[in-house]
Chain A
Amino acid sequence: MRLRHVIMAALLPLALSATGPAAAQGTLRIGMTAADIPLTHGQPDQGFEGNRFTGIPLYDGLTAWDLSRADRPSTVIPSLATEWTSDPNDRTRWIFRLRPGVTFHDGSPFNADAVVWNVRKVLDRDAPHFDPRQVGVTATRMPTLRRAEKIDDMTVALFTSEPDSLLPINLTNLFMASPTHWQALRAQHPTAEATWNAFAANPSGTGPFRLTRFVPRERAEMTRNDNYWGTKAKLDRIVLLPIPEANARTAALLSGQVDWIEAPSPDAVPQLRSRNMQIATNPQPHVWPWQPCFLPSSPLSDVRVRRALNLAIDREGLRTLLGGMMQPAVSTYPAGHPWAGNPTFQIRTDKAEARRLLAEAGYGPQRPLTIRVQISASGSGQMQPLSMNEFLQQDLRTVGVNVEFDVIEWNALFTNWRNGCGHASARGAHATNVSFSAMDPFFSLVRFYDSKMAPPVSNNWGMFNDPRFDQMVAAARTSFEPAERDAALARLHAAGVDEALFIWIAHDVGPRAMSPRVRGHVQPQSWFVDLRLPHIQ
């Protein structure tokens, strides 16, 4: 085996020269987990993988995530807007100053008209270019944005339905498509829907790459935008390939068909390492929890039980099970994050304390605690749900907790998440195991802790209802100075940990594997990556 590696290493330069000029000029071929190319019209589908590969590379938003560093959490930075402020006289009005000199891929200028046009495409049902297909993936990420108004060519006002300090964070999800290019295509197509389809095949944004080839379900090719307003990409070309099956992705990387794969299965990592592939990981703003039911009939309505479960879990053991492909989660935001705060309840593995708390809550050998958790066998962001949950089941048995699973299909688990634990679809579950993104405080905190977010409004599945938390949410959403807002979010988060509002278990580390030829990649603490940074050696 070793001899074969030596021979392969010796032949590598020859093999590289035989791969043709495209590879030598810096073409990065990426195997995605998606089964289709994410939508390219400016508001990608396929979750955050879509934003990662056909959103951020092709388009820019008014704000963006800083993806340049691996050693600190990603924060929101200016992008097509250089600065913004909330109007002190009307907190539902925000003023955004736009970056001058930016042009779309078609050469038309980016200005306030373009911003208004892009807001209307998803929020104004009377706009000629309104596209209902983009509403689902956009409006959901900007729940309070209502409209935009041009002040001058380079200044725009955005209005929200209520005072909302989180708007600049939400706006990372609204990508700016070219109105001029759309209008040109509209003249050739009978309907707005057909025009958006044509736009998807031939899009125009302001991003560091432009789409040059699109074969639905098979590949998308992007070339560097040499007129990009910011730091230009090093790569000449990126080829996106949907490879939904994990083993197929691994085989494609090992056989040299791709240079980079998303989410290799943990089992494949030793093999990939043995073949000199690079494995990039970093804790993501992602939480793999058990979300408790707070109804009186649920044993998890007792804070002592929730704390006991948090203390009973051997997260390091779970990490070993996953070959290191997870980060133990003791809260939604890890210590050091601007929104982490200082919880007084320190989550760790302390089985003795867990037993004591359970006994205090009335559970013990004479009256063992039995809980039922609704889980899925697979699913986006769910990591390895069956083996992980079975590990937890065994682990919790050591403190006298019996765990029963209701294993249902991923799509059904997702749907049930909007029904709440009192609904028949929960089938008596005391917790649900739906992982979530923690990029944005609305989606990581507000929708779980605010009583107004109980189903069917949002994902407060456990029907948590505590006026103190409602007040903290309101305080965070109405704190408009960034430092003040961060402090309010930190207080909310810390209070959630103290009340053990989740059983925190794992953070995904977003593993991706890449060929040794890929250089310069930065794996940020984010769901996204900056594809301007890597290059092919």
Chain B
Amino acid sequence: MFFYLIKRLIYAIPIALAVGFVCFMLVQIAPGDPINAIVPPDAPQEVVEQVRRDYGLDKPLPVQFGLWLMKVVQGDLGRSLATGRPVWSDLHSAIGNTLTLAFAASLIGFVLGCILGGLAGTFRGSLLDRMAVTTAVAGVSVPHYWLGMVLVVIFSVQLNWLPAMGAGPGGSADWAWDWEHIQHLILPAVTLSVIPMGIVTRTVRGIVAEIMNQEFVVALRGKGLTSWNVFLHVVKNAAPNALAVIGLQLGYLMGGSILVETVFSWPGTGLLLNSAIFQRDLPVLQGTILVLAMFFVALNLCVDLIQTALDPRIKRA
């Protein structure tokens, strides 16, 4: 297990390099100029050139990439072109906010997904199954941002029950798990949860249905186990596969909430990426994507390790 862990950590290095390189090149290929984050387009040419030199944007691309890489290795993600603030200071608060949102959405999505999927798999072909499948398909198909806007119109604008935007009355810096703050979390978390809910429902349904047809379930019933005890065995067998899907979804939630965070002005990594893209803020873009990619790698590693712990048949070496 230890060597497996070390091997996976070593694998993360080329992944990080590749992510950093691809992100750097994509920004360079995209039309526009990062200098526009600092200098208005109507600036005199000598000012543009001077600022370009000040920020090292006049250097050849491999040199720029190399300099960035050197800093990253030393734990410095650089400074935002637009604000001058260290990338890490913005990123670290944004990650906290996105984690809050992602975990809330995961909780809703995974709990509902497991319940619906479990029921649908157990009672396959029933009305309950069809309702669960319909809900899952709708969850996967509905565009995030559209659902977010509809929820805002209903619950914020019309009913005035929940806030439409932000991460609390004083911003995320004052975040606390009290109603005043949690009410800001509800709409974005519900919006973000529908896709994982749909995917988990369908996955769990398939796994449960498959396990229910296996011979050991018939044997357990033949031995006289109660339905609840049989269900526990099914859950234990379904857990590793379901966990793999849940782990992937959590990774997607971390990096895939740009639209939802923008609709709700939730100050997470998605909103940070959104503004960095529009401003061509290269250091913020590279730093954020790199950290998210590393988070994804770490999450997959955790899922693998938990899977191994849950199911000894899965051998890692």
Those of B150-196 within 8 Å (CB) of chain A: 152-153, 156-157, 160, 163-167, 170-173
Say whether B31 contacts A244, CB under 8 Å.
Answer: no
A243-B165, A251-B164 known; A136+B82 contact, CB < 8 A = no
Say whether B85 contacts A251, CB under 8 Å.
Answer: no
Q: Which A residues are CB-close (under 8 A) to B84?
A: 39, 133, 193, 196-197, 200
Asked if A226 lies at the interface with its beta carbon under 8 angstroms from chain B, I say: no
Say whether B94 contacts A136, CB under 8 Å.
Answer: no
Contact of A247 among B36, B55, B167, B263 (CB under 8 A): B263
Say whether A409 contacts B39, CB under 8 Å.
Answer: no
A241-B265, A411-B278 known; A251+B152 contact, CB < 8 A = yes
Asked if B214 lies at the interface with its beta carbon under 8 angstroms from chain A, I say: no
Asked if A443 lies at the interface with its beta carbon under 8 angstroms from chain B, I say: yes
Q: Which B residues are CB-close (under 8 A) to A520?
A: none
Contact of B51 among A136, A196, A244, A458 (CB under 8 A): A136
Asked if B280 lies at the interface with its beta carbon under 8 angstroms from chain A, I say: yes
Q: Which A residues are CB-close (under 8 A) to B94?
A: 217
Q: How far is the CB of A22 from chain B (nearest CB, A)?
A: 10
Asked if A76 lies at the interface with its beta carbon under 8 angstroms from chain B, I say: no
Asked if A317 lies at the interface with its beta carbon under 8 angstroms from chain B, I say: no
Asked if A49 lies at the interface with its beta carbon under 8 angstroms from chain B, I say: no
Say whether A408 contacts B31, CB under 8 Å.
Answer: yes
Q: Which B residues are CB-close (under 8 A) to A113?
A: none
A218-B172, A254-B157, A255-B157 known; A245+B265 contact, CB < 8 A = yes
A215-B172, A411-B31, A443-B42 known; A197+B166 contact, CB < 8 A = no
Contact of A216 among B44, B47, B51, B89 (CB under 8 A): B89
Contact of A140 among B47, B149, B157, B173 (CB under 8 A): B47
Asked if A182 lies at the interface with its beta carbon under 8 angstroms from chain B, I say: no
Asked if B54 lies at the interface with its beta carbon under 8 angstroms from chain A, I say: yes
Using a Cβ cutoff of 8 Å, how many contacts connect chains A and B? Answer: 155
Asked if B271 lies at the interface with its beta carbon under 8 angstroms from chain A, I say: yes
Q: Which of chain B's residues has its CB closest to A45's CB?
A: B82
Q: Return the CB mask of A375-410 against B: 1 if under 8 Å, else 0.
A: 000000000000000000000000000000000110
Q: Which A residues are CB-close (under 8 A) to B51?
A: 132, 135-136
Asked if B45 lies at the interface with its beta carbon under 8 angstroms from chain A, I say: yes
Asked if A120 lies at the interface with its beta carbon under 8 angstroms from chain B, I say: no
Most buried by A among B48, B79, B271: B271
A36-B83, A251-B156, A255-B156 known; A216+B93 contact, CB < 8 A = yes
Say whether A411 contacts B267, CB under 8 Å.
Answer: no
Q: Which B residues are CB-close (under 8 A) to A36?
A: 82-83, 275
Asked if B285 lies at the interface with its beta carbon under 8 angstroms from chain A, I say: no
Say whether A218 contacts B45, CB under 8 Å.
Answer: no
A141 to B44, CA, bound (A): 9
Asked if A257 lies at the interface with its beta carbon under 8 angstroms from chain B, I say: yes
Those of A192-231 within 8 Å (CB) of chain B: 193, 196-197, 200, 215-219
Interface size on A, residues (CB 8 A): 51
A254 to B280, CA, bound (A): 32
Q: Which A residues are CB-close (under 8 A) to B44?
A: 139-140, 143, 457-458
Q: Which A residues are CB-close (under 8 A) to B39?
A: 136-137, 140
Contact of B50 among A135, A248, A252 (CB under 8 A): A135
Say whether A418 contacts B40, CB under 8 Å.
Answer: no
Say whether B164 contacts A217, CB under 8 Å.
Answer: no
A196 to B83, CA, bound (A): 11
Say whether A136 contacts B47, CB under 8 Å.
Answer: yes
Q: Return the CB mask of B36-76 against A: 1 if under 8 Å, else 0.
A: 10111111110110110011000000000000000000000
Q: Return the CB mask of A447-462 against B: 1 if under 8 Å, else 0.
A: 1000000001111000
Asked if B90 lies at the interface with its beta carbon under 8 angstroms from chain A, I say: yes
Say whether B160 contacts A140, CB under 8 Å.
Answer: no
Asked if B274 lies at the interface with its beta carbon under 8 angstroms from chain A, I say: yes
Contact of B41 among A45, A139, A415 (CB under 8 A): A415
Q: Which A residues are CB-close (under 8 A) to B36?
A: 411, 414-415
Q: Which A residues are CB-close (under 8 A) to B153?
A: 251
A256 to B265, CA, bound (A): 15
Q: How far is the CB of A187 from chain B (nearest CB, A)?
A: 20
A193 to B83, CA, bound (A): 11
Q: Return the CB mask of A174-202 against B: 1 if under 8 Å, else 0.
A: 00000000000000000001001100100
Q: Which of chain A's residues has its CB closest to B277's CB?
A: A411
Q: Which A residues are CB-close (under 8 A) to B55?
A: 132
A168 to B84, CA, bound (A): 29
Asked if A436 lies at the interface with its beta carbon under 8 angstroms from chain B, I say: yes
Q: Return the CB mask of B260-300 against A: 1 if under 8 Å, else 0.
A: 00111101000110110010100000000000000000000
Asked if B33 lies at the interface with its beta carbon under 8 angstroms from chain A, I say: yes
In the complex, besides A251-B149, A411-B31, 14 extra interface pairs with C-beta distance below 8 angstroms are A35-B275, A36-B275, A132-B51, A132-B55, A133-B84, A135-B54, A140-B39, A140-B47, A218-B267, A247-B263, A248-B264, A257-B163, A257-B165, A418-B45
Which residues of A are interface residues toward B (Cβ below 8 A)?
35-36, 39, 45, 47, 132-133, 135-137, 139-141, 143, 193, 196-197, 200, 215-219, 241-245, 247-248, 251-252, 254-257, 408-409, 411-412, 414-415, 417-418, 436, 443, 447, 456-459
Return 13 A-B CB contacts under 8 Å, by A number.
A36-B83, A137-B38, A140-B43, A216-B90, A217-B267, A219-B170, A248-B262, A255-B156, A257-B166, A408-B31, A415-B32, A415-B41, A457-B44
